[in-house]
């Protein structure tokens, strides 16, 4: 019998340790780097374009991070106010266009505070020092004898100099030469520990903030004809039946067909009259997708190893669990939108207004597509009405640019809700097989976790087929996220295979961390139940010794929720789960759930969460992010699911895809744990790794059966 050599075995035999980063370095000369969001490191002087004192005496901060609902704008404002010694109202934070600052990393991965707190703090301090030195020189007073009261510099002799006078009609930008200015008295300003989301009043009152709100002279409206099925390619397009009264241009490049109209309503009507033929031979099929994810081989034969001890887990196990997790959509409230304008006069050749997680990637992608220099394209970042990983690629922006070039006027492309579901990318489905063994007194000895999943990073949404082939030997880091076991076992193996999907897949809040940790925490809970051991005690007994911060989260959440075990009644139960996000953020959750067996429904009544993301800046914003994560975990377990039906995804509208509503929302209690001297790390996605599992484990405590398929159906 001939055994087929797996990719994992091939790499092991050849000694080639391919990773996503290695491949990126290998093929960056062609186009892998432009195909993915920017991950460039911050240059030494890049930050000096972020902050300036304006002639009116107020400070302008050009944020290197996109505002996608995480509240980073208000947090940066709080940090800068403390360093500059001014009131919060004296600082304006904007999303700059790409010509204003050096290229910044994509706003992903809960990295804004982790990566940018230090440089933002530093430039605030340098600006304060530089202004202090300039004021001392203007006042002809020794540096040590000048103080700042928040609006004026004061000399001991009584002379004063306002910020407006210091600016003298010109904006003051930082200069690298001013880094080494003399030390100055630290400004003393009473600032709150938390401030509301920046421009929250504008959001609530409907003030224009988003890309869809942009109005330009001569603005027209464009859209493309969409494929009737997933994977269908356009063969022909005819515009002969399109009414021409309000149509400004039509577009067909052999791959896509679109129209430009004077109004959105006339555009919608005209699209239905475009005559097209499609090649739909590669129709997506849910049964085929399920078959591709079936775990029929041993864990050792899966392609990518995550964890492997020298001793293999024993074949006989106390627990053998199979868990199935479906596609899931981002379902952001704001469908994506972009406006493009080509210019024949001086200035940039092309301007783009859009809500994106990476304006620089959009610039790079579009410049490359049209053969332009990056300095010829300017992208104006707008506030994003929900990103969650969905706004990392260039989609609607390229569509707007193509149609604007054809129409020779500014064009807005506004995706519809069906566009979001059918054209966007989604969390890939995954299948997990976990076998585990513990001693009778509850010590984990053997752990085997094999899983298959669609790609998260190396996907068809981001890469053409030839590039996907280059990455086929590499472990997709997004798929692997969260698969590392936080518990100690003498004999462990964790491995996975990534599977090409006929559906576009990609980053979904936390990437692989949410489904992978859901599988881990479900299995751990069931193993504890099988042994008759309290699930919280079982976790504490088996955590790896270097995870003391996770142990603290578990201990604290038990105290905060008054954990007395699962406490099952005729209508309710409790569940617990925990996890580590990206190796740096620790979280534990206890869920109180009411269950109606007669109707097959359940209601989460309370979620208690302890969360350790190190040092906390702007505590209310951190708590808001955690609340969002907890609700995402609820949706993941209770209702969120996409399937393929008749060659299309099962949802076109939010009525087809149920996200949690206010009626589903439980009481939420959050404790932020700040270990002494701990650095700040990510909070934006961490809590989702434990929220869903805690809810599912509560239901399992009630029914006596683990939750092995999402969404949960009693």
pLDDT, position 26: 32
pLDDT, position 23: 31
Helices 112-139 and 72-84: crossing angle in degrees, nearest 10, is 30
Tens-digit pLDDT profile for residues 88-113 = 999 999 999 999 999 999 999 999 99
Domain boundaries of the chain, sorted by first residue: 46-202, 211-281+337-414, 286-329+425-703
The mean-pLDDT minimum among 105-114, 211-220, 353-362, 542-551 falls in 105-114
Kindly tell me if the per-residue pLDDT of 436 is higher than 70.
Answer: yes
pLDDT, position 470: 81
Q: How far apart are CA 181 and CA 42, in angstroms?
A: 22
pLDDT, position 33: 39
Over range 276-291, report the average pLDDT.
91
- Shortest CA distance to 455 belongs to which of 420, 507, 493? 507
Kindly tell me if the per-residue pLDDT of 117 is higher than 70.
Answer: yes
Residue spans of alpha helices (H) in 299-437: 359-370, 396-407, 417-423
pLDDT, position 44: 65
Over range 540-561, report the average pLDDT.
97
Task: Return the CATH architecture of domain 46-202.
Answer: 2-Layer Sandwich (3.30)
Over range 597-607, report the average pLDDT.
93
- CA 686 to centroid of chain Cα atoms: 11
Peptide bond into 595 cis (omega under 30): no
Kindly tell me if the per-residue pLDDT of 1 is higher than 50.
Answer: no
Common-topology check for domains 46-202 and 211-281+337-414: yes
Task: Return the CATH architecture of domain 286-329+425-703.
Answer: 2-Layer Sandwich (3.30)
The mean-pLDDT minimum among 177-186, 238-247, 674-683 falls in 177-186
pLDDT, position 282: 74
Tens-digit pLDDT profile for residues 190-215 = 788 888 888 899 999 999 999 999 99
pLDDT, position 468: 83
Over range 576-595, report the average pLDDT.
97
Reduced 3-state DSSP string for 70-133 = CCHHHHHHHHHHHHHCCCHHHEEEECCECCCCCCCCCCCCCCHHHHHHHHHHHHHHHHHHHHHH
**pTM for this prediction:** 0.92
Percent of the chain at pLDDT exceeding 70? 92
Q: How far apart are CA 101 and CA 93, in angstroms?
A: 14
Strands 220-224 and 411-414 come out as parallel
Tens-digit pLDDT profile for residues 15-34 = 433 333 333 323 333 333 33
Residue 251: what are its φ and ψ, rounded to 5°? -140, 135
Over range 65-87, report the average pLDDT.
94
Q: How many CB atoms lie within 10 A of CB 441?
A: 8
Percent of the chain at pLDDT exceeding 90? 80
615 sits in the region (left: phi over 0; alpha: psi -120 to 50; else beta) called beta
pLDDT, position 232: 93
284 band by pLDDT with thresholds 50, 70 and 90? confident
pLDDT, position 264: 94
> Average per-residue pLDDT in the chain?
91
Please measure the distance between the N-terminal and C-terminal CA atoms of the chain and give it in whole angstroms.
44
186 band by pLDDT with thresholds 50, 70 and 90? low
pLDDT, position 598: 87
CATH for 211-281+337-414? Answer: 3.30.365.10
The mean-pLDDT minimum among 282-286, 329-333, 628-632 falls in 282-286
Contact 663, 557 (CB under 8 A): no
pLDDT, position 366: 97
């Amino acid at each position: 019998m001939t055994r087929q050599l797996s990719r994992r075995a091939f790499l092991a035999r050849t000694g080639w340790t391919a990773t996503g980063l290695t491949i990126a370095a290998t093929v960056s000369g062609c186009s892998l780097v432009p195909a993915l969001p920017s991950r460039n490191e911050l240059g030494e002087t890049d930050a000096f374009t972020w902050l300036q004192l304006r002639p009116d005496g107020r400070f302008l901060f050009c944020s290197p991070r996109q505002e996608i609902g995480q509240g980073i704008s208000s947090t940066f404002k709080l940090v800068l106010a403390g360093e500059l010694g001014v009131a919060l109202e004296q600082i304006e934070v904007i999303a700059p266009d790409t010509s204003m600052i050096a290229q910044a990393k994509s706003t992903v991965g809960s990295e804004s505070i982790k990566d940018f707190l230090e440089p933002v703090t530093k430039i605030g301090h340098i600006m304060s020092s530089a202004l202090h030195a300039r004021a001392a020189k203007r006042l002809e007073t020794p540096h040590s004898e000048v103080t700042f009261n928040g609006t004026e510099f004061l000399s001991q002799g009584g002379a004063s100099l306002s910020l407006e006078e210091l600016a003298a009609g010109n904006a003051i930008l930082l200069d690298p030469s001013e880094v080494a200015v003399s030390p100055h008295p630290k400004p003393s300003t009473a600032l709150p520990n938390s401030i509301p989301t920046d421009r929250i009043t504008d959001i609530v009152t409907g003030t224009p903030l988003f890309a869809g709100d942009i109005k330009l002279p001569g603005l027209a409206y464009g859209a493309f004809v969409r494929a009737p099925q997933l994977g269908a390619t356009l063969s022909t397009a005819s515009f002969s039946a399109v009414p021409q009264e309000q149509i400004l241009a039509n577009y067909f490049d052999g791959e896509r067909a679109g129209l430009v109209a004077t109004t959105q309503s006339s555009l919608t009507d005209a699209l239905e009259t475009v005559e097209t033929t499609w090649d739909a031979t590669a129709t997506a099929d849910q049964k085929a997708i399920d078959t591709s994810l079936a775990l029929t081989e041993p864990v050792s034969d899966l392609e990518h190893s995550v964890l492997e001890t020298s001793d293999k887990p024993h074949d006989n196990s106390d627990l053998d669990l199979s868990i199935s997790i479906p596609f899931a959509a981002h379902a952001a409230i704001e469908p994506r939108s972009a406006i493009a304008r080509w210019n024949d006069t001086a200035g940039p050749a092309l301007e783009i207004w859009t809500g994106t997680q990476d304006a620089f990637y959009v610039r790079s992608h579009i410049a490359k597509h049209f053969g332009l220099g990056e300095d010829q394209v300017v992208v104006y970042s707008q506030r994003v009405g929900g990103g969650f990983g969905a706004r990392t690629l260039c989609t609607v922006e390229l569509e707007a640019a193509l149609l604007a070039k054809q129409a020779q006027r500014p064009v807005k492309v506004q995706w519809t809700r069906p566009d979001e579901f059918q054209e966007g990318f989604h969390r890939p489905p995954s299948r997990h097989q976990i076998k585990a063994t513990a001693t009778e007194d509850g010590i984990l000895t053997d752990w085997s976790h094999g899983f298959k999943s669609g790609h998260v990073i190396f996907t068809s949404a981001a890469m053409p087929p030839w590039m996907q082939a280059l990455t086929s030997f590499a472990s997709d880091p997004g798929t692997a996220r969260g698969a590392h076991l936080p518990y100690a076992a003498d004999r462990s193996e964790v491995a996975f295979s990534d599977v090409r999907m006929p559906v576009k897949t990609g980053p979904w809040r936390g990437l692989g961390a949410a489904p992978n940790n859901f599988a881990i925490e479900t299995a751990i809970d069931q193993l504890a139940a099988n042994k008759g051991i309290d699930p919280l005690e079982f976790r504490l007994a088996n955590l790896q010794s270097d995870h003391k911060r996770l142990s603290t989260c578990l201990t604290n959440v038990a105290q905060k929720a008054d954990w007395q075990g699962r406490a099952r009644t005729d209508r309710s139960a409790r569940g617990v789960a925990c996890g580590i996000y990206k190796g740096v953020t620790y979280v534990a959750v206890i869920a109180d759930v009411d269950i109606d067996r007669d109707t097959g429904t359940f209601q989460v009544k309370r979620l208690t969460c302890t969360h350790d993301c190190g040092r906390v800046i702007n505590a209310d914003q951190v708590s808001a992010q955690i609340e969002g994560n907890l609700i995402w975990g609820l949706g993941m377990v209770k209702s969120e699911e996409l399937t393929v039906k008749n060659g299309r995804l099962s949802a076109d509208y939010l009525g087809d895809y149920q996200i949690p509503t206010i009626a589903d929302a439980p009481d939420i209690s959050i404790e932020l744990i700040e270990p002494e001297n701990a650095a700040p790390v990510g909070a934006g996605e961490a809590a989702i790794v434990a929220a869903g599992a805690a809810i599912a484990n509560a239901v399992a405590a009630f029914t006596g059966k683990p939750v092995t398929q999402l969404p949960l159906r009693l």
